[in-house]
């Protein structure tokens, strides 16, 4: 636990959160699988909810308690390359150059990776893809971590893991200025929705269970993202590049707003495990 807190730069109070909420979840996971098959667990949460930390902690906990071999995947590591997204932007819609929404991930690569992880035998090895957000492109394969089989638990985390496509009627009205001004004909959101239905949902259907970390509302998610950027700015040298102002953060969040709002409404009833957060990020149930 001490090593985990250090590696993730977490406050000491995380230990209480882990013992009270995350360890009980880890202890329940063996009930979801039998001795003959691998467990595939999904973790969904909007930006700033702690989904990556939870996924990594569950990996550590199950390795320690059950001697499981665990592979933790982030859907972010399966983004198309920058060149592929530029081509997609030229062919379909300019907004697809920006990574994030369904349709900007290489779902074929993700599906193959999950299948290979399931098939790994004793001594077999697989390199897990990594995406470098600093260069907005896939990391060199020499930097990909290697997992050796067999694998007992695969954790797939991401803001859209387990998300369902919307109806045609739900797509008609724009939900924010980005959709209204930059996707007036709905080409981008229909493409995203179609990709979600045809490419992503078949992958999500393989999940044995889904964990949802629910923010209190979308406004809180925006505020957390803004506070995060302000803290980065305060701790960075004057004139540091790469930081976003409020207007830029607003546009950035608008890419995720439609499906994030849908998840907040739908996933608490669909997920097997739900953690509800308050405005200060604390788990309240």
pLDDT tens digits along 21-31: 999 999 999 99
Average pLDDT in the 208-228 region?
92
Residue 73 CA to residue 206 CA, distance in Å, equals 15
For all residues of the chain together, what is the average pLDDT? 92
Give yes or no for a contact between 161 and 152, defined as CB atoms under 8 angstroms apart.
no
DSSP string, 226-275: HHHHHHHHHHSPTT-SS---HHHHHHHHHHHHHHHHHHHHHHHHH-SEEE
- Reading the block at residue 198, the tokens are 């045809």
Backbone angles phi, psi at 196, to 5 degrees: -60, -45
Q: Look at 9 and 41; give whichever has higher pLDDT.
A: 41
pLDDT at 80: 98
pTM of the model: 0.93
Q: Look at 259 and 2; give whichever has higher pLDDT.
A: 259
Residue 166 neighbours by CB under 8 Å, 6+ apart: 193, 258, 262
Average pLDDT in the 204-229 region?
92
Q: What does the domain layout of the chain look like in residue ranges?
A: 2-276
Share of the chain above pLDDT 70, in %: 94
User: Is a pLDDT exceeding 70 seen at residue 217?
Assistant: yes
Cα dist. 206→22, 161, 212 in Å? 23, 11, 16
Residue 115 CA to residue 59 CA, distance in Å, equals 19
Give tens-digit pLDDT for 227-278: 877 766 665 555 455 567 788 888 999 999 999 999 999 999 999 999 999 9
Give yes or no for a contact between 49 and 277, defined as CB atoms under 8 angstroms apart.
yes
User: Is a pLDDT exceeding 70 seen at residue 52?
Assistant: yes
Q: How far apart are the first and last CA of the chain?
A: 23
CB count in 10 Å sphere of residue 11? 8
Give tens-digit pLDDT for 115-144: 999 999 999 999 999 999 889 999 999 999
Q: Pairing relation of β-strands 39-45 and 209-214?
A: parallel
- Reading the block at residue 36, the tokens are 């003959």
- Reading the block at residue 56, the tokens are 């990594």
pLDDT at 239: 47
Residue 191 CA to residue 254 CA, distance in Å, equals 16
Backbone angles phi, psi at 151, to 5 degrees: -105, 130
pLDDT at 12: 86
- CATH number for region 2-276: 3.40.50.300
Residue 187 neighbours by CB under 8 Å, 6+ apart: 92, 93
pLDDT at 8: 83
């Amino acid at each position: 636990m001490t090593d985990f807190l250090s590696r993730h730069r977490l406050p000491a109070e995380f230990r209480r959160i882990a013992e009270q909420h995350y360890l009980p979840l880890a202890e329940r996971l063996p009930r979801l699988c039998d001795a003959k098959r691998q467990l595939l667990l999904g973790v969904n949460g909007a930006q700033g909810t702690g989904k990556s930390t939870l996924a990594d902690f569950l990996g550590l906990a199950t390795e320690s308690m059950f001697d499981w071999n665990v592979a933790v995947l982030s859907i972010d590591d399966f983004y198309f390359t920058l060149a592929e997204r530029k081509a997609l932007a030229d062919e379909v819609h300019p907004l697809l150059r920006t990574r994030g929404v369904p349709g900007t991930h290489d779902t074929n690569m993700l599906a193959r990776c999950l299948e290979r992880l399931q098939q790994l035998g004793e001594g077999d090895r697989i390199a897990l893809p990594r995406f470098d957000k600093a260069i907005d492109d896939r990391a060199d394969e020499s930097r990909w971590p290697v997992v050796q089989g067999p694998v007992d638990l695969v954790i797939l985390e991401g803001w859209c893991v387990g998300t369902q496509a919307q109806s045609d009627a739900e797509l008609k009205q724009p939900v924010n200025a980005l959709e209204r001004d930059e996707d007036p004909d709905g080409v981008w959101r229909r493409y995203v929705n179609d990709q979600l239905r045809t490419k992503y949902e078949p992958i999500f259907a393989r999940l044995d269970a889904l964990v949802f970390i629910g923010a209190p509302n979308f406004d809180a998610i925006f505020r957390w993202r803004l506070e995060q950027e302000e803290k980065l700015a305060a701790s960075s040298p004057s004139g540091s590049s790469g930081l976003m102002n409020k207007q830029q953060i607003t546009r950035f969040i608008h890419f995720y707003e439609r499906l994030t709002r849908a998840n907040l409404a739908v996933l608490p009833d669909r997920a097997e495990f739900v953690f509800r957060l308050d405005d200060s990020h604390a788990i309240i149930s």
